[in-house]
Amino acid sequence: MPPISSPPDDWDPATVTLLLPPPLSGSETETERIKIIKLHKWKYAAGDTGDKTERRATRAHEYARKRVWDIVMANRARVIDKDKQTDEQKVDIQKVDNWWAYRQSRIGTSRGSSMIPPPTKWRPELAGETRTEKWRYAAGPNNDGSAKKTQNHNDARKSIIRKFRLTEAKRKDPCDRTTEDLKVIAAEVTRKANKSKRDKARDMKRLKAQQDVCTKYLENHPELLVATDTPLTEEDAFDIALKLFDDKESEYGKKIFNVLGSKTLRQVLYDVNSSTSIYIGAGRGFGDESYRFLVHNGGRCTTVLTREDGTNFKSKDQDYKNLKLESVEVGHFSSWSDCTAVEAALQLILDDLEIGSQRLWLQSGIGRDQRQLRVRDAKRIEKLKADGEDGNLTFVCFITILRNVEVLSRYTDTVTGKDVVESIKAGSGTVCRVHQPKRPKPRSDPAQKAALEATRLKLGFNCIDINHKRKLDDFLSAESEDQESSECSMSEDEQGSAESENESDE
């Protein structure tokens, strides 16, 4: 049985009537006697429980002690001005003044789990029963329209409250933050660290399971073992990507050169006044896949470009046709791992280009996959063979090109604090909203990073981030001006010294 907490300082023991006297030795002082009686009455806060069993009597005393604390906390909350009361203090008052409403507000979808009231600033456009209903089903339905479990809604409510408290704590000046604010911020740091560890372990487990499925499938179908040779290393993948920048002679190089209007990738992407933006992707086929701006962003798939109202483009709509997207293959591969290795290499090399004005993928380096075949590819092969068709799949790395790109508006990103593109006009005049990544930091392993640095050295200075290059040019020009001014001042000093020498000779 857990120890009993101390009673509040302002609690009156006279409210408890006991038939059972406290144990006394007779040698106590008056102060000690009062303290013993107070603790004794606090332990048996429900008073005389009649003929209840020991278990039911114990529970009655627990409820009585809890009720005392509820009243004390409500009285403390009432002292504070209503406009300055926190959500927790309002709940403390509701527990005492309107206990049934408080109980009803904490009943979950199954009338079993409890829920706490929403923050005051949550969904201010809703009111009454509508707001209560939205809060009760905070997690929303499943994708198929079915209802989620009670725990899902409970977790969603906790997440909303946690985010509100964190936002309020961070908005305060560091000097004005209370102990509770500091605890909230520290708890968020710990939560993110723990979540990162769990996510990493979960991803490793998922990837291992997928790899095991594909390995077992290839063992049962040795004729599909396309990668008996050593798969592409990071260096090999970056070498393939490197050749594409100035290539206009090979099969793929000619296609890129012609689609870009007799220009190479280097000329188009690293021209300061470039009006071309590209998307690098990989897929099982070279069809609609190459025209979908779908990438992994913060745990879900989202588009880079949408209409101004945030809705997705549809291929049959005129505004989508006016984008005039053009796509070209840059490599065909017999295994998924080789294809995504080249995709990731291209993305990482061009990672410094600006999202919206020059590139249309959101997060670089995430296309890299070690599997020769994906699970869905294996199922696709089985279906093709069952239909009597050739089961050999080819994986394609491609570049999709967007022309006549013009930046319309910019804003300061809340995640990175940088000035980023908000909307653009492209193609024949379609206006698009640009979505920035939620986790802008590139995801790559040490081998990729080493290969990337070696490739950037081979590409030369012109293939460094244009913004960095401009800053360096400004620095060098400023340095040269300082040097010229110093030389001028030196020449004047020399001239003055020469004149003084002449005067002394005379």
pTM across the whole model: 0.55
Between the alpha carbon of residue 202 and those of residues 117, 198, 212, 446, the distances in Å are 33, 6, 15, 21
Residues 33-56 as b or e (16 or more Cβ within 10 Å = b): eeeebbebbbebbbbebeeeeeee
H/E stretch holding 426: strand 419-426
Residue 428, CB half-sphere, CA atoms under 13 Å: how many?
8
pLDDT at 333: 86
Residue 269, CB half-sphere, CA atoms under 13 Å: how many?
31
pLDDT at 59: 85
Residue 465 has pLDDT above 60, yes or no: no
pLDDT at 50: 76
* Residue 376 near residue 216, CB atoms below 8 Å: no
Under the banding of pLDDT at 50, 70 and 90, the label for residue 229 is: low
Residue 490 has pLDDT above 60, yes or no: no
Is pLDDT larger for residue 222 or for residue 158?
A: 158
pLDDT at 503: 47
Is pLDDT larger for residue 297 or for residue 283?
A: 283
Long-range contacts of 2-7 (CB under 8 A, 24+ apart): 4/42, 4/43, 4/65, 5/65, 6/42, 7/38, 7/39, 7/42, 7/65, 7/68
Three-state SS for 477?
Answer: helix
Per-residue pLDDT reduced to its tens digit, 312-336: 888 888 888 898 888 888 888 888 8
Cα–Cα distance, 358 to 372 (Å, whole number) = 31
Is pLDDT larger for residue 41 or for residue 302?
A: 41
pLDDT at 431: 92
Name which of 274, 289, 366, 365 is nearest 327 in CA terms.
289
* Residue 303 near residue 310, CB atoms below 8 Å: no
* Residue 155 near residue 139, CB atoms below 8 Å: yes
Is pLDDT larger for residue 403 or for residue 474?
A: 403
Dihedrals phi, psi of 338, to nearest 5 degrees: -65, -40
* Residue 307 near residue 317, CB atoms below 8 Å: no
In terms of C-beta density within 10 A (0-12 exposed, 13-18 middle, 19 or more buried), how is residue 392 classed? exposed
**For the chain, how big is the Rg over CA atoms in Å?**
35
Under the banding of pLDDT at 50, 70 and 90, the label for residue 476 is: low
Residue 111 has pLDDT above 50, yes or no: no
What is the dihedral angle through the alpha carbons of 70, 76, 77, 78, rounded to the nearest 10 degrees? Answer: 110
Dihedrals phi, psi of 409, to nearest 5 degrees: -150, 155
Paired sense of beta strands 294-297 and 326-333, if any: unpaired
H/E stretch holding 401: strand 395-402
Question: Residues near 147 by Cβ (< 8 Å), separated by ≥ 6?
Answer: 109, 137, 141
pLDDT at 113: 46
Per-residue pLDDT reduced to its tens digit, 252-275: 888 888 888 888 888 887 766 678
In total, the chain counts a number of residues equal to 506
Dihedrals phi, psi of 359, to nearest 5 degrees: -135, 155
pLDDT at 425: 92
Per-residue pLDDT reduced to its tens digit, 70-99: 888 888 888 888 778 887 888 888 888 877
Per-residue pLDDT reduced to its tens digit, 389-410: 776 778 889 998 998 999 999 9
Average pLDDT over residues 191-214: 82
**Residue 365 tokens, joined:** 């380096």
Widest distance between CA atoms in the chain? 129
